[in-house]
Amino acid sequence: MQDVTDLAFMRVIAHYGAPDYFFTEFFRVHSQSRPEKHILRSIDENTTGRPVFAQLIGEDLGHLVRTVAALLRHPVAGIDLNLGCPAPKVYKKNVGGGLLREPEKIARLLATLRPAVPGLLTVKMRIGFDDTAHFDRILDLVNEHRVDLLTVHGRTVKEMYRSAVHYDFIAHAARRVRCPLLANGNVTSATRAAAVVAETGAAGVMIGRHAIRNPWIFRQCREQFAGGTPARVTLADVRDYVERLYRATQSAEFPERAHVTKMKKYLNFVGQSVDPTGAFLHEMRRAESEGELFRACDRHLLDGDAAEREFSPEPYPGVIARPNCETPAGVADGCSLETITA
């Protein structure tokens, strides 16, 4: 997830139960681009014990090959091509989800990248741009160019994150492609992950935004897939997560108020499972300092009997983030970037 899946966030997630592998924020590829140093850190300084795939977004064949060559000098698990980003500022440049309008351009991209990537080449896509007319053609290109892993988000680009997820299209893709397929979209909990895998026949799931809300979700998925009961998480556990995330993302060069603002954007997700009334979200959003933020957290996550109350595995219905601060910067621009296989 853009501006989220950095080195600090990966380390925090790994503390609570890492996914099978991570995907980086996307490296923007164009004529003046060089692999962004802060994204390279999430590869070079990875201490999570899990592989990291380098995600690319771009359309220029030569510059993509140049960037792949540069990234292969780092300990990447593979190269991932983003064909799913639904942000208008991205698809208007004809990259990310914008490429789904042009299957023949995708054919050229995959034909160029496949020989340039000696190891694993993966693709993340949506089911179409504004309709699904090209869906089967693109799935056939995945087969033709021997893509090693495909992730399908079950919405079109124009549907963004608003519509229901079309799991029937993911199931169709799982039957049509010859590589393993990961299902993506509204995988909100371990129970939901198991249901999605059963419904689609996918090899596993990719989880993004709900890992911000619930960093235990990958451990819980493993427990669910193994036939057990996912571990219960308390609000005291959530208070520990908030503290750990705050300290991990803190920087001497980043002013306190700006950091608090960034934390509020993470907590817009966390708050969806704290209480059904949204009281935590209401108070948290008004914090302007570290002290105010943690006092709000203590009141709702520790005080009285709160500490032992369960953190809901699913978001409470109707408890949503405000439109102007729904996600950390760029989450909707990137795609779901953590995975777990069934």
pLDDT 10s digits, 212-233: 999 999 999 999 999 999 999 9
pLDDT 10s digits, 4-24: 889 999 999 999 999 999 999
Q: What pLDDT is attached to residue 319? A: 83
Determine the topology of domain 7-231+329-341 in CATH: TIM Barrel (3.20.20)
Q: How many angstroms separate the CA atoms of 225 and 222, rounded? A: 5
pLDDT 10s digits, 298-318: 999 999 999 999 999 999 998
Strands 338-341 and 204-207: antiparallel
Strand partners, 55: 26, 80
Q: How many angstroms separate the CA atoms of 329 and 164, rounded? A: 24
The model's pTM is 0.92
Burial label for 106, CB within 10 Å (0-12, 13-18, 19+), is buried
Q: What pLDDT is attached to residue 318? A: 84
Residues whose CB falls within 8 Å of the CB of residue 14, separated by 6 or more in sequence, listed in order: 47, 48, 49, 50
> pLDDT category, 134, cuts 50, 70, 90?
very high
Q: For tokens 């995988």, what's the residue?
A: 187
> pLDDT category, 100, cuts 50, 70, 90?
very high
Q: How many angstroms separate the CA atoms of 28 and 189, rounded? A: 31
Do the beta carbons of residue 93 and residue 135 sit within 8 Å?
no
Q: For the chain, percent helix, then strand, then coil, each to nearest 5?
A: 45, 15, 40
Do the beta carbons of residue 208 and residue 184 sit within 8 Å?
yes
Question: pLDDT higher for 325 or 53?
Answer: 53
- How far the first Cα of the chain sits from its last, in Å, is 22
